[in-house]
Structure 1
């Protein structure tokens, strides 16, 4: 089943009088349950594309359909619900709150969903166990390695059981072993039926996805399985 369809997507910015085309006439389909890697060098437009796919931004031109619904016609409340319940975000910088322990960091987005404390605790513990951190529930970020912090970030992304995971350079700050551990978690989540969209500059990481979409200068230049 088709999850994502983008048609003629463009994203333009202005730097003084100079027009910058971050994305230029992109066309792409992603099916439910796929593991897709979007790969390209810094400045290629891949993070801009992730922001559009994650409903964090809207295109300048073109159309984006999510589950058959035109994102441009959605209300801000609807977009907010999608970001909060249907998409789990994982970023390169972890974005953990240093004064909160792992459980509290994972629990925080669930507070905004209005879940009761007992349910939030149960989901947080389940997610942290899922990424192998059952012995680090009450450690703060400063007491954990980079790889462990990224696993907390993944647990936070999956705690609400969203069907889509968007991961932007999730291995970018990690050594090769920790990076591969993160990839194994993402592959396992995909194996359970979640759609995983991975943004990376690393071809070795991208090669582990089912499909690789190479982007350069805002254009898709190659799609390979």
Structure 2
């Protein structure tokens, strides 16, 4: 299978020198196209730093990161911004929706940055909202929706442009049990539809939903386990 994500000997060091902190310590990881992978670790394990690397929100101190065949580890901020916009759909714990925009306008926003014309982006946004079961709430603003519905809008925004990678950072962290289940079911459906999903979490139960679990501890990969095919 083809590697969508390939991390080679990745290090991230803060305060180099006597009091240095190795947030990531020689990490190697490959994720194939179409995989559903959970990256799990407790607070301070390095998982948030690793998510920032995978999401092109930061660059490593040393090592290489190939995303979709391109080495992104030495790119400038503006180059990384372009890569993020084209290659990665982000789902965050805090939804990050814009309060005065409707659901469909929130989903369209990243498509505007990609230069997609008005008619096409409206179609893509509608399709994405229907995919997450919100076809009937397109004109509602975030304050008129539950937390679970807001997170579904955020998922629609992440998937509308059909990026190669969906990166979900604690996507159920602010949700009740029922809403959490809904969100995880949507992520599973996306995976079953051929999307590559990388789920960052500290919760074992959430991680269990993925097909492969990568545990990080003290900046190193402690284990990498693929579940048996069901």
TM bucket, shorter chain: over 0.9
C-alpha displacement at 1:191, in angstroms?
0.9
Alignment of 1:1-225 (within 5 A): 1-14=2-15, 18-74=19-75, 76=77, 78-225=79-226
C-alpha displacement at 1:77, in angstroms?
5.1
RMSD: 1.6
Deviations 1:75-118 (A, max 9, x none): 65543332112210110000001111101111111111112212
Is the contact made by 2:23 and 2:49 (CA closer than 8 Å) also made in structure 1? yes
Change (3 A) 1:116 1:215: same
CA distance in 1 between partners of 2:68 and 2:135 (Å): 34
CA distance in 1 between partners of 2:31 and 2:166 (Å): 13
Match of 1:150, SS state, is: helix
CA distance in 1 between partners of 2:55 and 2:217 (Å): 20
CA distance in 2 between partners of 1:77 and 1:140 (Å): 31
Is the contact made by 2:43 and 2:202 (CA closer than 8 Å) also made in structure 1? yes
Q: Which runs of 5+ in 2 are unaligned?
A: none
C-alpha displacement at 1:72, in angstroms?
2.6
Is the contact made by 2:63 and 2:73 (CA closer than 8 Å) also made in structure 1? no
C-alpha displacement at 1:15, in angstroms?
9.2
CA distance in 2 between partners of 1:25 and 1:160 (Å): 33
**More displaced stretch, 58-67 vs 204-213:** 58-67
| TM-score, normalised via structure 2 length | 0.93
Question: Size of the alignment, in residue pairs?
Answer: 225
